[in-house]
Structure 1
Amino acid sequence: MKNKAVVLGANYYIGLSIIRCLAIHNIPVVAIDYSKKGTYGFHSKYLSEKLIGPDCKKDPQGLLSFLVDYGKKQEKPPVLLPTADGYAEFIDRYLHTLRKYYLINQTEQGLFTKVINKETLHSLAREHNILVPETIYVDEEDFEIKVKENIKFPCLVKPTNSPEFVSHFRKKLFKVYNMEELKDAIRRSKDANLEVIVQRIIPGFDDHMYTFDAYLNQDSKVSHWMTCQKLRQFPINYGASVYTIQKHVPELYKIGGKFLEDIGFKGFAEIEFKKDADTGKFYMIEINARTTNLNSLLYKAGINMPYLAYSELTGQLPEAYAIEKDTNIAFWYAYEDFLAIKDYRKSNQLKLGEILKTFNRPKAYAIWDIKDPKPAFAFLGNKTKRAFNKFFGQ
């Protein structure tokens, strides 16, 4: 009997992509979410079990008890895979307890949280001589003078904990153009009990955003990797990827691979970089310590990251491999890309011709899979229902 894979979160396409990546290898996959509502990953034909458990944010102790009880009933310890920062932080918080019943890549408690949190990540990056955007903390002495002289306007007000900020404000950050707007953004964040930092904007359009996606084995050595380039994101300029291409950038391996190895990271990680349009230097923006939006692209390009984790934790890691050429494959989240295109056009940031020529590529779809179509239909049904209720005021 094979070890099961337990996927935490199925209400977004990241969880769906993990389910598919594992099930094609005949691995029994269990999806756990806190609600059936809108959880279109539950409709995948590849699922062996779908379970409703406590919310990791509202009732972490409840979820811990739920997972411990489930783990105790299994003949072999399942592999535990998070799909969002909240789940990664939950695993990090209860790592020692969870490792008694589950197989988990990371062995150092606190490291997931350290790289997810912007403040501690930047401290780590500076220790290892990695460029990060110039940052000022809101309680620093001479704060206003430092902002005017070192950061300059416009600038960004960013959370140290992104999931909580996005949950509250429905956006990843505030872009402010003067001191009055800056103070207002800080006040709003404090009122919500959210810590924020102020950062310089690294010059460059959205296509100056890149990712280094890697798997590190239990010796904290990069075994598999590839790099990608964003072309469009939503919300535009400071959002999540909606159209991204695989693009080989060797320099990112030299920067990102060494950093992850030096800090002792294990398992999958994605480092997001921005290339300074003026200097050509790469600045580290953030790290995702769990499977990301681009998982279907990584798989189609030739690296099945969830399967690597499962294989290593239950037996043997496949031979090292990297995508060291341009495959021309694009990740596409069509629903939000159309919303992004509308905003890019409205703000005159992209011409229609520039947009159309990007579509002439093989696609790795966020949700659609002809072999597993039900999740896409469930997703469309959810959107249609919401639009209907909004239109008729229900």
Structure 2
Amino acid sequence: MAIDTSTPVLVLGGKENALSLVRNLGRHGIPVSVSGPSECWGMSSRYCRKAFRVPRDSSGADYWHELLLGPDSASLHGHILIPCCDYSIDFIAHHTEELAGNYLLDDAGPDLRLDMLDKQRTLVLAAQAGTAAPKFWNIEADTDLEGIRNQVEFPVMVKPLNTVNFYRIFGRKLFIIEKRFDEVVEKVRLAQQNDQPVMVVEMIPGPDSLLSSYYTYIDKNGKSLFHYTKRIVRRHPVNRGSACCHVTEWLPDTAAAGRKFFEGIGFTGLGNIEFKHDLRDGKLKIIEVNARFTAAQELLVRSGAPIDLIIYCHLTGQKPPQFSSYTQALIFWYPLRDFLAFLELWRRNELTAMEWLRSWFPHHVISPLHKITDPMPSITAAGGVLEKLLRRLRA
């Protein structure tokens, strides 16, 4: 099927997801530009038509406002804007009306998109949609903490409402407290001292392999353009870090739970929802929602689910390609981080070396970064690691 590739795309932010978008859309002849910080790999790809680097001393929002809404923005008018990070989601959501006059935006409702950035609001919406969720407690004052002292069952998480800002300050996505309520108080107060609102959330027991996720895109008429699921094999750090080993697998229960949530809240646009299977009651419980392409985007494309191309065709008024199935048991793998996850699990006597090897070998393994035909992102990433190392040594 011939595709009209004349409408250009501008990707805002992201890392693995932005690189995958640039490579796949660019491979089809679509003009793709990227704007992000220096660690945005897509800007180094051979398929990137133009790179707009966000300066270190500038926030993404300020830079994108000048780039897209400033007096010199006319050359970018007509681009499809694709947010690939939480900062760009926030920027587009707050400037939807201004941007819509000169750019193509997807079907996402700005209010619900912002709701998905607020982890507590997401859980509130899940309850309204009849989607199972972990127990959580809203914390605004010390009296709220004392009120839940006898309700909390350990382990629990002190979880930020906004993960991005929290990670920037603490270098982690959340705090896990195994036993003592005094430590819950300590971590909540530490977050509040840094102006980071948090909630206390029940931790669903069990390994990270109980995590699975569902992807879809819902247009303004409520029609889903595709359905896709995968699951996580491991994360690092275990039980709280980012996934380091994913595997493609069609999971009907995960898809049904995801559809129920998105339809229940009236969601439109691109959505990814992650669940964890709670072995205590057999329910899939919501963990988080991303209203954007995720880090595992290359896994979807390589397994036969080109959701980026489907969305591009939809937004440009063309008949989108379709897929009714996709390759199963493909592995999306971060070798170093997964080795560290193995060591952590091995020390706990939860994983042997042979079990670790069998989990990814001899499966077909996909890298989030490396590609022989497009080596510059790998070189740029290596340079970024070296630069961070030198900064630490100088400090």
TM-score (ref. length: structure 2): 0.91
Q: Aligned ranges for residues 227-246 of structure 1 at < 5 Å?
A: 227-246=229-248
RMSD over aligned Cα atoms: 2.3
Is 1:71–1:78's contact at 8 Å kept on the other side of the alignment? no
1:317 Cα offset (Å): 4.2
* Contact 2:32 2:48 (C-alpha < 8 Å) held by counterparts: yes
Spell out the pairing of 1:248-267 with structure 2 (5 A cutoff). 248-267=250-269
- SS of 1:23's equivalent in the other structure is helix
Structure 2 partner of 1:6? 10
Aligned twin of 2:323: 321
Q: Identify the residue that residue 138 of structure 1 maps to in structure 2.
A: 139
Equivalents in 1 of 2:23, 2:222: separation in Å?
26
Rounded to whole Å, the distance in 1 between the matches of 2:371 and 2:222 is: 33
1:286-365 superposed matches below 5 A: 286-323=288-325, 327-360=328-361, 361-365=363-367
Structure 1 residues 88 and 383: CA distance shift in structure 2, 3 A: same
Which residue of the partner structure matches residue 114 of structure 1? 115
Superposed displacement of residue 167, structure 1? 1.1
> Does structure 1 conserve the Cα–Cα contact (< 8 Å) formed by 2:54 and 2:60?
no
TM-score by length of 1: 0.91
Quote the Cα distance in structure 2 between the aligned partners of 1:195 and 1:387.
Answer: 31
What is the aligned-residue identity percentage?
27
Out of 25, 30, 33, the position equivalent to 1:30 is 33
2:94 matched residue in structure 1: 93
Displacement after TM superposition at 1:202 (Å): 0.9
SS at match of 2:43: helix
Instruction: Tell me if the contact between 1:7 and 1:80 (Cα under 8 Å) persists in the aligned partners.
Output: yes
Amino acid at match of 1:7: V
Letter in 2 for 1:2: S
Deviation at 1:229, TM superposition (A): 1.0
Secondary structure of the residue aligned to 2:231 is strand
Q: Are the aligned partners of 2:331 and 2:365 in contact in 1 as well (CA < 8 Å)?
A: yes
Whether contact under 8 Å (2:132, 2:286) holds in the other structure is: yes
Distance 1:238 1:57, change over 3 A: farther
2 CA distance for matches of 1:276 and 1:84? 29
- Residues 107 and 13 (structure 1 numbering): CA distance in 2 closer, same or farther, change over 3 Å? closer
Is the contact between residue 56 and residue 90 of structure 1 (CA under 8 Å) also seen in structure 2?
A: no
Q: Any conservation in 1 of the 2:34–2:48 contact (CA below 8 Å)?
A: yes
How does 1:360-371 map onto structure 2 within 5 Å? 360=361, 361-371=363-373
Give the superposition deviation at 1:288: 0.6
Number of residues of Structure 1 aligned to a counterpart in Structure 2:
387
Q: Distance in 2 between matches of 1:51 and 1:142?
A: 45
Matches of 2:136 and 2:60, distance apart in 1? 33
Inter-partner Cα distance in structure 1 for 2:42 and 2:75: 24
Q: Shift of the alpha carbon at 1:208?
A: 0.6
The answer to whether the 8 A contact 2:10-2:33 is kept is: yes
- Does the CA contact (< 8 Å) of 2:138 and 2:144 recur in 1? no
| C-alpha displacement of 1:111 | 1.4
Q: What's the offset of the Cα at 1:145?
A: 4.9
User: What SS does the aligned partner of 2:87 have?
Assistant: helix
> Residues 222 and 261 of structure 1 are in contact (CA less than 8 Å); yes or no, is this contact kept in structure 2?
no
Secondary structure of 1:321's partner? coil
Structure 1 residues without counterparts, runs of 5 or longer: none
Q: Kindly tell me: are residues 52 and 306 of structure 1, through their superposed partners in 2, closer, same or farther at Cα, counting changes over 3 Å?
A: same
- Cα distance change, pair 13–197 in 1 and its aligned pair in 2 (3 A): same
Residue 56 of structure 1, CA deviation: 11
- Hey, what does 1:178 align to over in structure 2? 180
Change (3 A) 1:301 1:188: same
